[in-house]
Amino acid sequence: MKIVIPGGSGQVGQILARHFLARGDSVTVFSRHPRPAPWRVASWDGLTPGDWIADLEGSDVCINLTGRSVNCRYTAANRRSILESRIRSTLLLNEVIASLNHAPRLWVNASTATIYWHALDRAMDETDGELGGNEPGAPDTWNFSIDVAKGWEEAFFSTPTPRTRKVAIRSAMTFSPDRGGVFDAFLGVVRHGLGGRQGRGTQFVSWIHEADFCRAVDLLIACEKFDGVVNLASPSPLPNGELMRALRDAWGIRIGVPALGWMTEIGTWLMRTESELVLKSRRVVPGRLLAAGFQFLFPDWPAAARDLVARWRKGIGRSAMRLRRAARYHCHRSHHHESHYRDPGAARARHELQGLASGSGLAHASQQPRSGGRREAR
């Protein structure tokens, strides 16, 4: 298949691109800032037609993930960027796909599970779930996120595309062991001993393991009966306190300092993000997937957490090994000036370890002197 992923340079886009490439599909990612990748990357701005249209012509599937990250403070400028980056790119794709001679047979557009009500008492599926907005006492930031989600879906379904089936995926947080992803953020809190409940801890967390996310998208592609909105989430959302406890267990640490509501507000302000991302209750379930007989590989959080932690640790081990190899060659070159060897893994190793708040000291290990004047990663 020929698959095109506008806005596919983020975590979820990379998960899907790797998945499709591994099974032999042709993958093209549209990006505002193209970088080398194992798949084709085409430049686009999400605002105007361009050469990228040729990649959509004759494609089989379009998966649009375009949108400014919501991991920021909701200032007036950021709110405008969050909304417009989603609405304008979706309207542009509507215009282009409707005009193609050979349009993709399926267009999957990102949405979000945040669109549902702040639910503590019952689960929200596609049929009986109540859309949020103006809940009593809800902060303005919560209503903003819901308004964005509603506007995004409205823009998506606004233009008929007779030759292209449309599915809006109301996705929960997609957990993968990738550095910089949402799971990495949760695990970072646990590793530093701060992995207690956040706020009251009774708010529900909806999530999905990356393997199930990819398999669910595969089902949407294969099964023609899917159109409209589909929830992509594990069937087992759980309270924040239970999620953090299971993650501590998976990591092997018993203690996690809780963050009360006011502490969470201060912490997210210092991190330049919003408390809504952890304090709003998202109790979303995948009604349509379950009705279609979809079998989750990771329906429950404890098993998913153990898998993700093990793979996260394995990734750190590979990075440390590359850094040690790079450090050895650095030492060799410092003693043998005539050598012009450059280890091709050195730059990659340093890049991978930059920004890892692992608490293990690996990110700076190559700068720690040992006896004899040598420097080596430990």
From first to last of the 378 residues of the chain, give the pLDDT tens digit: 999 999 999 999 999 999 999 999 999 999 999 999 999 999 999 999 999 999 999 999 999 999 998 888 889 999 999 999 999 999 999 999 999 999 999 999 999 999 999 989 999 999 999 999 877 777 888 889 999 999 999 999 999 999 999 999 999 999 999 998 999 999 998 999 989 999 999 999 999 999 999 999 999 999 999 999 999 999 999 999 999 999 999 999 998 998 877 667 777 666 677 767 788 899 999 999 999 999 999 999 999 999 999 999 998 766 555 555 655 544 555 444 433 434 444 344 334 334 333 333 333 333 333 333 333 333
Helices 182-191 & 301-335, crossing angle to 10 degrees? 80
41 has which bridge partners?
A: 29
Q: Is the four-CA dihedral 188, 268, 172, 157 of positive or negative sign?
A: negative
Tell me the domain boundaries of the chain: 2-299, 321-373
Separation CA 221–CA 159 (nearest Å): 21
Classify domain 2-299 by CATH architecture. Answer: 3-Layer(aba) Sandwich (3.40)
Reading the block at residue 367, the tokens are: 């700068």
Nearest CA among 118, 127, 92, 129 for reference residue 107 = 92
Separation CA 200–CA 198 (nearest Å): 6
pTM metric for this prediction: 0.83
